Amino acid sequence: MTATPTPDSPPPPARRPGDQEAIASRAVDSPPVDPIGAGARVAEPATAADLQRGTLRVLVVSNVLGGVAVASGFAVAGLLAESISGSTSMAGLVATSTTLGAAILAVPLARLARSQGRRVSLTAGYLIATAGALLSIVAAQIGSMALLLFAGCLFGSGSASNLQSRYAATDAADPRHVARSLSVVVWATTIGVVVGPNLTGLGGSVGSSLGVLPLAGPYLFSVVAFGLGLATVWFGLRRLQQVTPRVRLERQPLTATFRRVMAIPHARLGLLAIATAHSVMVGLMSMTSVHLRHHGASLTIVGFVISGHVAGMYALSPVMGWLTDRIGRIPTVGLGLGILASAMTVAALAPDEAHGLTALALVLLGLGWSACLVSGSTLLSRSVPEDIRTSAQGLSDLTMGALASLAGTAAGPILAHLGFHWLAVLCACLLLPVALLALATRSRVTDALA
């Protein structure tokens, strides 16, 4: 039976272009889920709006702190590994272990979010990352490379929590503004990734004054920032948790979640768009500094190029969120893929000494990644049924982390044997299957609405 509208009822919202995808695939946005209480539903609109505003404030603060913590440690991880091992070839292993740790821990943290709520899951993630930062300091003090790699895996939990925060921002969001809510949390990372590396010198001085090796000093800031992020989530979300009751959901095996996600066209596209964009970004970005140094760029130029890339990744994410809500999720995925393709084209055609063109390619690379991450994450979250939503989100973070680790590992030999230009060409080739899938999915939407 259809409810009869009353004079006091608000008019129905106008349909936006992005809503067609959900209608065609029957993946209608389900009722808002309490981001704190594992499936809890919000009873009143006013409460839902208050819950969302409070959730976003807490997540923005925690993501800034988490970004500072991750960037502080990541900035010196390679140098610390080289110092302990005495080998330049070992320098990248800590970054790889951190990426793998983030990927592996994404699934159990998602399951924890599903059973205990976002508050418990995010707190646990930051707690594990704090332990990783502390163990990194211990590894530096005793000169243990094995312990440093293990600590790097635990440290990756901070990245996993930061990534999960973007999904937590969508749980109680207005269906018309899901992407914008997600993108605000992604944008908050900008502050962390800018501030964190600039604490390296201060961290070394503080570490020396406390008897810690200078290269391990920045991890002290990681410990403090992770601890503050942990407290922000635990105490900030506790007050919000009292708004709604909790509803327990049955646990879904990861393989079952994967099959169900791949059976939903929009969810499949969202998953693959995120993973591919992240892999391409990591593959090209990880070798850019090496390429620049091999062709005469100073460390100042390298820093400028990487800073431009990071700005492209995060600074305009609210714009990508607005576009996703305005023109639709699949069109924004297509836009992101197009920007990534243009980045690969510039990188492939730029002369070796044209550092300005390389910088342009890296900015475009960041912008394309941002568009795909925001639109793909929104597409995935709102296309899957509620009972597998958090599991699908964990699967997405696992997939993007694992594939990015492979891309980063393969990028080195490709650069050594084929060069930077061919690396860009091969990365561009990875975009083609996802672009074709986006076109096919979009065509299916059009046919369904015809």
pLDDT tens-digit map of 281-323: 988 988 887 788 788 887 678 777 877 888 888 889 999 999 9
35 lies in a domain? no
324 lies in a domain? yes
User: What is the spatial distance between Cα 102 and Cα 135, in angstroms, rounded to a whole number?
Assistant: 16
Same-domain pairing of 227 and 297: no
Same-domain pairing of 261 and 237: no
Neighbouring C-beta atoms of residue 304, cutoff 10 Å = 17
Same-domain pairing of 231 and 271: no
For tokens 């070798």, the residue is 287
- Domain C-terminal end among 192, 210, 243: 243
Q: What is the pLDDT along the chain (450 residues), one digit of tens a residue?
A: 444 444 444 455 555 444 444 444 434 344 444 444 444 444 444 476 777 788 889 999 999 999 889 888 887 887 788 788 887 667 678 878 888 899 899 989 988 888 888 889 999 999 999 999 999 999 999 999 999 999 999 999 999 999 898 888 887 777 788 888 888 888 888 888 778 777 878 888 888 889 888 888 889 999 999 999 999 999 988 765 544 444 455 566 788 889 999 999 999 999 999 999 999 998 898 888 778 878 888 767 877 787 788 888 888 999 999 999 999 999 999 999 999 999 999 999 999 888 899 999 999 999 999 999 999 999 998 899 988 888 898 899 899 988 988 888 888 888 888 989 999 999 999 999 999 999 998 766 544 433
Same-domain pairing of 341 and 295: yes
For tokens 């330049």, the residue is 88
List the structure tokens of 358: 């390389």
Same-domain pairing of 393 and 437: yes
Same-domain pairing of 260 and 408: yes
Q: Provide the β-strand partners of residue 41.
A: 33
Residue 417: partners with Cβ closer than 8 Å, 6 or more residues away: none
Same-domain pairing of 119 and 215: yes
379 lies in a domain? yes
Single-letter residue type at 217:
G
Single-letter residue type at 446:
T
Q: Note down the domain range covering 389.
A: 252-445
348 lies in a domain? yes
List the structure tokens of 377: 């994450």
Same-domain pairing of 289 and 233: no
CATH number at residue 174: 1.20.1250.20
Go through 305-337 and write b for each residue having 16 or more CB atoms within 10 A of its CB, e for each that does not. bbbbbbbbbbbbbbbbbbbbbebbbbbbbbbbb
Same-domain pairing of 304 and 321: yes
User: What is the spatial distance between Cα 440 and Cα 277, in angstroms, rounded to a whole number?
Assistant: 18
CB 145 within 8 A of CB 82: no
User: What is the spatial distance between Cα 7 and Cα 146, in angstroms, rounded to a whole number?
Assistant: 69
Please tell me the chain's helix, strand, coil percentages from 3-state DSSP, rounded to the nearest 5: 80, 0, 20
CB 72 within 8 A of CB 200: yes
Return the C-alpha torsion angle 286, 360, 195, 68, nearest 10. Answer: -40
Q: How many domains does the chain have?
A: 2
pLDDT digits (tens, 9 = 90+) for 407-447: 888 888 888 889 899 999 999 999 999 999 999 987 665 44
